[in-house]
Amino acid sequence: MASTILEMRDITKTFPGVKALSNVNLSVEDGEIHAIVGENGAGKSTLMKVLSGVYPTGTYDGQIIFRGQECNFRGIHDSEHIGIVIIHQELALVPMLSIAENIFLGNEHASYGVIDWDANETRTGALLKKVGLKEDPKTLITNIGVGKQQLVEIAKALSKEVKLLILDEPTASLSEKDSQALLDLLLEFKRQGMTSILISHKLNEVNRVADKVTVIRDGRTIETLPRKDISEDRIITSMVGRSLDDRYPPREPKIGEVIFEVKDWSVYHPIHAERQVIKNININVRKGEVVGIAGLMGAGRTEFAMSLFGRTYGRHITGEVLLRGKPLDLSTVSKAVENRIAYVTEDRKTYGLNLIDHIKHNVTLANLGGVSSRGVIDDMREMSVANDYRKKTNIRASSVYQLTGNLSGGNQQKVVLSKWLFADPEVLILDEPTRGIDVGAKYEIYTIIARLAAEGKAIIVISSEMPELLGISDRIYVMNEGRIVGEMAASDASQEKIMRAIVRGEGKAS
């Protein structure tokens, strides 16, 4: 029916040590809504960054053909110039500037550097009308909700004479109502003849608006499904269809009695006080058991873990935590550590390590009492502890005096793990323990997890990589939108079952 507006041919993009995309092909027709789906880390965002010039020409292989012209973008400016506009997951608006100022930021109606505010505001008013926003152009971004901010981003895209609009997870942080409104707007744009690419985890949304779906897995295009073939089942099978090989160390679980229990745990958002982030969660973990928590990004898993660990996230936290049947006070981090709970963060650079200090000081930080008496540190004891854990977790460094900022991701992760192992916890919560580290280091981390379980610790692993959860857990909880939406023994679980639980959970929510 229509002509092809965009073709990406054999796109290959390598980062040091990782092939993020290999020979990806994508063909988008004029006037359609084309959805791209895939697991976290499959390469969707990388592909869009190639398309929008974030990764400039020359840093990847392959061709981009837009409206019959081969494109070599040197930066975002080039791609925007010919009408390709991307709206990222994290909104790029300046909170303390007005809607009008944001929409024309860097692109103001001005002569000789003097801004014509009237022209800006009039044009902004027209754009806001198009996206169905009734706000005054002078309203500050910080005073409108996330849903409206998303619409401002779209209005900003429209101001650039957009031909192809790319939306990366546009509804991830939106409420159900705002999401619906946004999808309706996309359909309206389609009627007006605009082409869009929609990246989404939410298969029900894809199902609702997409004309075509391209599935990406492990940096490859798996297939492109036409409208008539789109169904959630079909997409899920295509998204996760890979086998588990022996990437996980063997272990024989010796599971004992329940030692850790969370009852009716509820948490509200720290800033938007009316938003409930965690909704009545009940979970338990047994001695020697590895329990996985599956879910998509934004399901509330990290928020749940951090709210447990010294209430480092959220407010109006209610619920009960029991260790061996006795209620635990976890109201501060030091109490949590004293009660032998450890939380290994998903973001080791921001929350896990002092990057300007060396391994030795990082390893002992959570348990300085263990290397000191009456507040005086025993240097020799600290040294032997650091060396001991360096061996145990196989940290590759020239000495324990190497700065953690100079270590590779895998070795940094081992330092964070060492820190928490030295705090001698009974319950360990590992949040994305293998994010951004290579396959070899992953195996080492899995081995450590298996060893800890064998020692009788209770372990909770949060991960967005489903094969990983299936490979190392004994039992899996599935979380979605702040709720536990499924629980299954790992032996019964499969990626499809987990995906189904998530999708069902989403269906319930809407």
In the complex, minimum distance from the CB of residue 374 to other proteins, in angstroms, rounded to a whole number = 9
CB distance 121 to 141 below 8 Å: no
| Beta carbon of residue 365, minimum distance to other proteins (angstroms, whole number) | 5
Strand partners, 421: none
Smallest gap, in angstroms, from Cβ of residue 422 to other proteins? 11
Considering beta carbons, is residue 111 or 350 the nearer one to other proteins?
350
Return the DSSP state at 481: T
Residue type for position 209: V
User: Could you give the CA distance from residue 314 to residue 406 in angstroms, rounded to a whole number?
Assistant: 33
Residue closer to other proteins (CB basis): 23 or 312: 312
Nearer to other proteins, 290 or 386 (CB): 386
| Residue whose C-alpha is closest to residue 290's, from 60, 465, 456 | 456
CB of 24 to other proteins, least distance (A): 37
Other CB atoms within 10 Å distance of the CB of residue 155 = 24
Q: Which residues bind other proteins (CB under 8 A)?
A: 309-310, 312, 332-334, 336-337, 343, 345, 350-357, 361, 365-366, 368-369, 372, 375-377, 379-380, 383-384, 399, 419, 423
DSSP string of 217-264, one letter each residue: ETTEEEEEEEGGG--HHHHHHHHH-----S-S--------SEEEEEEE
Spatial CA neighbour of 409 closest among 399, 395, 398, 423: 395
Nearer to other proteins, 209 or 333 (CB): 333
The nearest distance, CB 396 to other proteins, in angstroms, is 18
Stretch (H or E) spanning 206: helix 203-209
> Between residues 211 and 357, which has the closer beta carbon with respect to other proteins?
357
Secondary structure (3-state) at 10 = strand
Residue-wise burial string across 429-464, b where 16 or more C-beta atoms lie within 10 A, e elsewhere: bbbbbbbbbeeebbbbbbbbbbebbeeebbbbbbbb
Contact present, 429 and 341 (Cβ < 8 Å): yes
Query: 200 or 364: whose CB is closer to other proteins?
Result: 364
Task: List the structure tokens of 340.
Answer: 């032998």
As measured in angstroms, the least distance from the Cβ of 76 to other proteins is 29
In the bound state with other proteins, the residue whose beta carbon lies nearer, of 69 and 373, is: 373
Identify which of residues 63 and 334 has a Cβ nearer to other proteins in the complex. 334
- C-beta of 375: minimal distance to other proteins in Å? 5
State in angstroms the smallest separation of the CB of 324 from other proteins: 21
